[in-house]
């Protein structure tokens, strides 16, 4: 693992890397000053294949966005069986612990199939209390939570399509969408509440199935386990 400060990179490089991440792209378009503020709380981390990025049960609350490579998500520290899911470039991860006020819900490992693994890490403490608007503004928070709710709903839809008869399958559809006035604190509160409920449903899927992939229960990823021994 190597941690690199944002200042070590040319501005153009950072902008190019972050243009592939919907949240940062939207913030930059809406309010370039907020984009700069987020950068002040961020750094870039590179990993070697097989390195552990997040440990289930850890208490830190950084938020991550994958820039390059692929990551495997394991529901337990044991790293046996199939990963529960993969994280691909542009996706956010490490967002559930803060949302649910709980330790990390999964272990995330740099995949052995990736040569270069690069992650953008943001210190979530900049978000402060939900309703505070400094240093991160209400519009930026709204972008973040809309994005989070969208991503969680999407993942839960995928799991529903794999296990349509499971009693968890329809639960996320019962989580009400917000229909009130847009761009308000009320919308932020609703998105936050939706995100919390959807996050706990995702963790319930992980707990129930171990791996949600159809090939669940088959042989462990030996290549990955071997790489972890070094
Ligand atoms: N089923 C899943 N699919 C994709 N990512 C997941 C899944 N379960 C957990 N994660 C991610 O793994 C992260 C582990 O740390 P957090 O609990 O903070 O946030 C978690 C999610 O971002």
Q: What is the pLDDT of residues 18-63, one digit of tens each?
A: 999 999 999 999 999 999 999 999 999 999 999 999 999 999 879 9
What is the overall mean pLDDT for the chain?
A: 91
Number of Cβ within 10 Å of residue 77's Cβ equals: 12
Q: Residue 103, SS3?
A: coil
Considering Cα of 191, then 197, then 199, then 205, what sign does the dihedral take? negative
Probe residue for ligand 1, chosen from 60, 64, 93, 172 as the CB with the greatest number of ligand atoms within 8 Å: 93
Query: Residue 57 and residue 218: Cα distance in Å, rounded?
Result: 25
Probe residue for ligand 1, chosen from 96, 152, 159, 213 as the CB with the greatest number of ligand atoms within 8 Å: 96
Residue 150 CB–ligand 1 contact under 6 Å? no
Q: Which residues partner with 86 through β-bridges?
A: 72
pLDDT confidence of residue 129: 96
Probe residue for ligand 1, chosen from 52, 106, 160 as the CB with the greatest number of ligand atoms within 8 Å: 106
The pLDDT confidence band at residue 130, using thresholds 50, 70 and 90, is very high
Domain extent listing, the chain: 2-228
Q: What's the ipTM?
A: 0.99
Considering Cα of 21, then 45, then 31, then 142, what sign does the dihedral take? positive
**Ligand 1 atom nearest to CA at 86:** 4
Reply yes or no on whether the pLDDT at 106 is more than 50.
yes
Q: Residue 85, SS3?
A: strand
- Class of the CATH-defined domain 2-228: mainly beta
User: Ligand 1 centre and the CA of 92: distance in Å?
Assistant: 9
Reply yes or no on whether the pLDDT at 138 is more than 80.
yes
Query: Residue 3 and residue 47: Cα distance in Å, rounded?
Result: 9
């Amino acid at each position: 693992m190597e941690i690199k400060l944002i200042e070590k990179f040319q501005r153009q490089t950072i902008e190019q890397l972050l243009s592939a991440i919907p949240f940062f792209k939207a913030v930059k378009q809406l309010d370039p000053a907020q984009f700069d503020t987020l950068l002040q709380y961020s750094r870039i981390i590179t990993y070697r294949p097989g390195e552990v990025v997040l440990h289930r049960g850890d208490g830190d609350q950084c938020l991550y966005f994958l820039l390059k490579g692929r990551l495997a998500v394991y529901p337990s520290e044991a790293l046996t069986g199939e990963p529960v899911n993969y994280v691909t470039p542009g996706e956010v991860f490490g967002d559930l612990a803060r949302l649910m006020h709980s330790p990390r819900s999964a272990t995330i490992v740099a995949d052995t199939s990736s040569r270069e693994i690069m992650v953008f890490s943001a210190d979530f403490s900049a978000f402060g209390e939900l309703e505070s608007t400094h240093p991160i503004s209400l519009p930026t928070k709204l972008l973040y939570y809309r994005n989070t709710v969208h991503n969680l709903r999407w993942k839960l839809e995928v799991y529903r399509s794999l296990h349509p008869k499971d009693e968890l399958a329809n639960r996320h559809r019962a989580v009400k969408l917000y229909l009130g006035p847009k761009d308000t604190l009320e919308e932020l509160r609703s998105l936050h509440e939706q995100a919390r409920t959807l996050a706990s449903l995702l963790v319930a899927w992980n707990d129930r199935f171990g791996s949600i992939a159809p090939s669940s229960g088959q042989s462990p990823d030996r290549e990955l386990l071997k790489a972890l021994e070094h």
